[in-house]
Structure 1
Amino acid sequence: MVNCRYLLGVVLVIFSLAAVFASDETTATLNLGDKAPSFSAKDADGNTWNSADHVGKNFLVVYFYPAAMTGGCTKQACSYRDDLSQLRQAGAEIVGISGDDVENLKAFRQMEHLNFTLLSDKDGSIAKTFGVPLKEGGSIKRTVDGQERDFNRGVTASRWTFIIDKNGKIAYVNSKVDAPSDSKAVLAALNEMKK
């Protein structure tokens, strides 16, 4: 009986240690005042977009969303589209990031007439640097220009929004984003920061 308990204890310790060391998905969440990580990714046109070229000029709103062409993500993107003029007046540039590939982002931008930058983070490396939780990628079917098409993504990021201030610091973090009203919440936060 003692040997069984001992063996069970050893097995539990081994599995616990294996889980800790195997979990490379877990990263520390960024907090207010932390220096924002630099990142680069392909945009919807396949061009490389570098955060270093944008940080310090305006507030940079970085929002992570699970998947292009899905209900909540479309509502969120369209709210940013519709509020873009006010967001720019508040001194912000908007960047949406998902695990979708470039072709998905291009179709998403065209179908929804999106007027801001969308970036592809297929491997989740940008989300990880911001501490955004990730799940496995996925696939959905959508009709584009009369043809059914598969939209694949490498990872599925949780819905989180950040504002990077002009000093390159995290000025706002929302890990409980309400997709349709995200742009309004960001606009309110930006207006508070400007006071």
Structure 2
Amino acid sequence: MALKVGDRIPNFTAINTNGTVFESQFIIGKKPVVIYFYPKDDTPGCTAQACSFRDQYEDFTDLGAEVIGVSSDTVASHQKFAKQHQLPFILLSDSNKKIRNLFGVPSGLFGLLPGRVTYVADKNGIITLIFDNSLMATKHIPKALSSLKKLS
């Protein structure tokens, strides 16, 4: 069952770029959050999206929000990707697709690729926006910012 606007983001754990366990309950329900699912590190659309989040990261933190990127890439891949592009936000490795399935993220491009979906949740962990667009990678950033501004 896919999460919908108005649902609370459930608790989950994953390994982050530091190789340590990330526990969602320490952020979700404490501050606004942007969780974006993307297909793959170092592909053109995903790199453009990550760099757009990086370039506007301060705008997100100024609104009190945390940005979290999730893909099925390995921790080593995330470490290389984050270092190469100086990504200041959390990347989570979802190699078993547990988080993707928990959220109900659909596959994109005729089921050939993992979908690209951004979720914005308020400080209580309630989803206020779901933006599902696999082809418009950089459009996720202004949509997420606009949604966060409405919360404050």
TM-score when scaled to structure 1? Answer: 0.72
Residues in 2 aligned to 1:34 and 1:188: alpha-carbon distance in whole angstroms: 19
Q: Deviations over 1:141-161 (max 9, x none)?
A: xxxxxxxxxxxxxxx520000
Residues in 2 aligned to 1:121 and 1:157: alpha-carbon distance in whole angstroms: 11
Compare the two structures and name the one with the higher strand fraction: 1
What is residue 187 of structure 1 aligned with on the other side?
Answer: 145
Q: Deviations over 1:16-63 (max 9, x none)?
A: xxxxxxxxxxxx221111121111100112110011010122101100
Q: Which one scores higher on RCO, CA 8 angstroms, separation ≥ 6?
A: 2
Q: Is the 8 A contact 1:124 1:134 kept in 2?
A: no
Name which of 119, 123, 129 aligns with 2:102: 129
What is residue 115 of structure 1 aligned with on the other side?
Answer: 88
What is residue 91 of structure 1 aligned with on the other side?
Answer: 64
2:124 counterpart of 1:167: yes
Residues in 1 aligned to 2:43 and 2:138: alpha-carbon distance in whole angstroms: 13
Residues in 2 aligned to 1:81 and 1:112: alpha-carbon distance in whole angstroms: 8
Query: How many residue pairs end up in the alignment?
Result: 148
Q: Is the 8 A contact 2:9 2:28 kept in 1?
A: no
Residues in 2 aligned to 1:89 and 1:56: alpha-carbon distance in whole angstroms: 18
TM-score when scaled to structure 2? Answer: 0.92
Q: CA deviation at 1:79?
A: 0.4
RMSD, aligned α-carbons: 1.6
Q: Is the 8 A contact 2:122 2:151 kept in 1?
A: no
What is residue 18 of structure 1 aligned with on the other side?
Answer: none
Residues in 1 aligned to 2:107 and 2:23: alpha-carbon distance in whole angstroms: 22
Q: CA deviation at 1:134?
A: 4.1
Aligned to 1:85, the other structure's residue is in SS state: helix
2:112 counterpart of 1:158: no
Unaligned runs of 5+ in 2: none
The structure number with the bigger radius of gyration is: 1
Residues in 1 aligned to 2:48 and 2:94: alpha-carbon distance in whole angstroms: 20
Q: How many percent identity over aligned positions?
A: 37
Unaligned runs of 5+ in 1: 1-27, 136-155
Aligned to 1:38, the other structure's residue is in SS state: coil
Residues in 2 aligned to 1:32 and 1:182: alpha-carbon distance in whole angstroms: 16
Residues in 2 aligned to 1:84 and 1:190: alpha-carbon distance in whole angstroms: 13
Residues in 2 aligned to 1:133 and 1:60: alpha-carbon distance in whole angstroms: 20
Q: CA deviation at 1:182?
A: 1.6
For residues 1-195 of structure 1, the aligned pairs below 5 Å read 28-134=1-107, 157-176=114-133, 178-194=136-152
Moved over 6 A (4+): none
Q: Is the 8 A contact 1:127 1:134 kept in 2?
A: no
User: Which letter does structure 2 place at the counterpart of 1:187?
Assistant: L
Residues in 1 aligned to 2:130 and 2:50: alpha-carbon distance in whole angstroms: 18
